[in-house]
Amino acid sequence: MTPYFYKSPVLTLDNVSMEFAGEPILRDISAQVLDVCRPGMNQGQVVGFYGRSGMGKSVLCRIMAGLMAPSSGTVLVGQKQHAVAPGAVGFVQQQYPLFNHRTLHDNLLVAAARKYPDAAEARRLADSYLERFQLAAHRKKYPAHLSGGQRQRAAIAQQLLCSDHLILLDEPFSGLDVAMIDEVKKIILEVTTMDELNTVVIVSHDIQTTTALADRLWLLGQERDASGQLVPGATISPQHQYNLAEMGLAWHENVEAEPEFNRFVEYLKDEIRQSA
């Protein structure tokens, strides 16, 4: 098993609940993402939140990104664990939005300008991200001219340029073919190798891919009461929190080919079916 140890928390969800017009959507969600360290490795972490369609994943994303205040509970981010505010967490939405009126390079410059007031420094960083994400050839293009994969890479680069190491991906594998999913996986791993503190939070309904990438996993689902009735509002029950590093299923190059991994995914699927 790969040696590792945990340091300070980088994201904490403490009893987060959300209601719309009295209808509970999320209920008492608690989870903590810790900065994981592997001796001799300079790599951040990937954690996953799995939830079926309509389970309130996008609401959870907006809460974690500080775009929406929960009805109750708190979200703390960063090493100093301060309350989340818009801009503190990089958030790549499902449609990879960019500013359509700006070229790709300008899109990155807008993002870089916040953290790097020195224009030359912002320009240098934007250029280096374009290179790193293989977008340099498209720097003068408008977003409408980019392919889906290029847009996604650009959206991730944009968020990385202005966020503090924590980046949230809402359904990053949705509607992608196998080759594109491999491409996104590569990008996610690339992001984690850029800085030891970089943490990618995947919120997805793709259990296989999310589990393959993550070292921690939380299943979002509905619980049943004593009479077997579903309790309204999605939550994360204690038995649905998995430490894949502890289980020996994290950081393997081709984990999806391992029988142990596949058995675990089947087990997760059964769990998901039971909470339906």
Q: Kindly list the residues in this chain that would bind other proteins in the complex (CB under 8 A).
A: 62, 65, 67, 86-91, 93, 95, 97-101, 110-111, 114-115, 142-145, 158-159, 162-163
Instruction: Determine whether 180 is exposed, middle or buried from the number of CB atoms within 10 Å of its CB (0-12, 13-18, 19+).
Output: middle
The nearest distance, CB 102 to other proteins, in angstroms, is 8
Segments in 163-258 forming alpha helices (H):
178-194, 207-213
CB of 142 to other proteins, least distance (A): 4
If the CB atoms of residues 110 and 189 are measured against other proteins, the closer one turns out to be 110
With respect to other proteins, which residue has the nearer C-beta, 66 or 248? 66
Q: Which residue, 4 or 99, has its beta carbon nearer to other proteins?
A: 99
Min dist. Cβ of residue 198 to other proteins (A): 16
Cβ distance to other proteins smaller for residue 110 or 194: 110
CA distance 150 to 166: 21
Residues in the chain: 276
Min. distance of Cβ 236 from other proteins in angstroms? 24
Min dist CB 75 to other proteins, Å, is: 14
User: How many CB atoms sit inside 10 A of residue 85's CB?
Assistant: 12
* Extended strands (E) in the chain: 5-20, 23-37, 45-51, 72-77, 82-83, 90-92, 166-170, 199-204, 216-220, 241-243
- Residue 185 tokens read as 């996986």
Closest to other proteins by CB, 21 vs 276, is 21
